[in-house]
């Protein structure tokens, strides 16, 4: 997650909302219940362990332009192909060099009605980036592998893993720029996960879509009634919001300070930041709140599956 560009994109207005797809409303389904039951914090932690291993083997980080990022791309693409998804690694330009995102889509569901969930795959150069943003990546990988590439759904589900988020969101911006008008209209929702297991965990939902409200209701049911947070241009949702694509976000907090009211609601330590290892070398597996990791995985799985609907 980047915080330095808040002033640049704060309060972004959705200038082309008239061309945006209609917001989708989640509906309960047996598939949603089944997927939530399959997705686990332990499974997500196993995915995180692989990202830590990759960083350890490549100079301690997974930064775009470094070997750890390339190894992360190859690993994620391999996992998703093995799970039965159609996988591509489209390139984007970063400092005059071509780098790769990872895009995976179900083989079932209407490709003209797409649910897109994304997380940035890169870390900063100073550490392995396990909370920021291995947790978002691992959560989506756990959901994708439990869902499988050909689930019984009415709308296609697409998973995206972005490069260069820590370098001004070049990966997600390049992807949105590559979409035709029809491609943009086909995306009914973009859901962004960026840091979902901060050690002094908070629970935040972004967006005002029906999906955002469903995410909030699911967190509340798990005993973690969330706060809402404005889109402020500090993560990969920025390009989607600006393009008029309905968007939502989940996060557990970074360098902001937890208030007394938030500590009373969620536990943890008031007056301390959500993640004191943010953008540093100590952002390792030891820097993860497993309860938050499990909760965010369940609510993401439930909302995505509910939105995907049943085959007609």
Residue spans per domain, the chain: 24-308
What does the alpha-carbon distance between residue 112 and residue 97 come to, in Å, rounded to a whole number?
32
Q: What is the pLDDT of residue 28?
A: 77
Q: Give the residues of the chain that fall short of pLDDT 70.
A: 2-23, 312
Give the catalytic positions in this structure.
165
Q: What is the pTM of this model?
A: 0.93
Q: What is the pLDDT of residue 24?
A: 84
SS3 state at 259: coil
User: Could you report the per-residue pLDDT of 230-247, keeping only the tens digit for each?
Assistant: 999 999 999 999 999 999
What does the alpha-carbon distance between residue 14 and residue 102 come to, in Å, rounded to a whole number?
26
User: Could you report the per-residue pLDDT of 253-265, keeping only the tens digit for each?
Assistant: 999 999 999 999 9
Q: What is the pLDDT of residue 2?
A: 58
User: Could you report the per-residue pLDDT of 77-125, keeping only the tens digit for each?
Assistant: 999 999 999 999 999 998 889 999 999 999 999 999 999 999 999 999 9
In the CATH scheme, what is the code of domain 24-308?
A: 3.40.630.10
Q: What is the pLDDT of residue 23?
A: 65
Start-end of H helices in the chain: 6-9, 30-38, 41-56, 67-82, 135-147, 170-178, 181-186, 210-221, 237-242, 260-266, 290-308
Q: What is the pLDDT of residue 118?
A: 98
């Amino acid at each position: 997650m980047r915080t330095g560009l808040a002033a640049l994109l704060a309060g972004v207005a959705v200038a082309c909302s008239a061309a945006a797809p209609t917001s989708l409303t989640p509906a309960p389904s047996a598939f949603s219940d089944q997927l939530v039951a399959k997705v686990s914090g332990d499974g997500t932690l196993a995915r995180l362990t692989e990202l830590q291993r990759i960083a350890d083997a490549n100079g301690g980080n997974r930064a775009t332009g470094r070997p750890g990022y390339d190894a992360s791309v190859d690993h994620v693409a391999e996992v998703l192909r093995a799970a039965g998804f159609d996988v591509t690694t489209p390139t984007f330009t970063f400092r005059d060099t071509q780098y790769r995102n990872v895009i995976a889509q179900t083989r079932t569901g209407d490709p003209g009605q797409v649910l897109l969930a994304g997380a940035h795959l890169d870390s900063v150069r100073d550490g392995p980036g396990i909370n920021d943003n291995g947790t978002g990546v691992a959560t989506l990988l756990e959901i994708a592998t439990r869902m499988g590439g050909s689930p019984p759904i009415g709308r296609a589900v697409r998973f995206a893993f972005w490069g260069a988020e820590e370098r001004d969101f070049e990966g997600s911006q390049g992807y949105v720029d590559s979409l035709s008008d029809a491609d943009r209209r086909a995306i009914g929702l973009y859901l962004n996960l960026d840091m979902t297991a901060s050690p002094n965990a908070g629970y935040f939902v972004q967006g005002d879509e029906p999906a955002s409200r469903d995410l909030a209701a699911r967190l509340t049911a798990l005993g973690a009634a969330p706060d809402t947070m404005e889109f402020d241009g500090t993560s990969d949702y920025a390009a989607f919001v600006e393009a008029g694509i309905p968007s939502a976000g989940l996060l557990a907090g970074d360098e902001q300070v937890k208030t007394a009211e938030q500590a009373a609601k969620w536990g943890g330590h008031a007056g301390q930041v959500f993640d004191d290892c943010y953008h540093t070398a100590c952002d390792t597996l030891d820097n993860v709140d497993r309860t938050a990791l499990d909760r965010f995985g369940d609510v993401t799985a439930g909302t995505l599956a509910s939105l995907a609907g049943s085959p007609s």
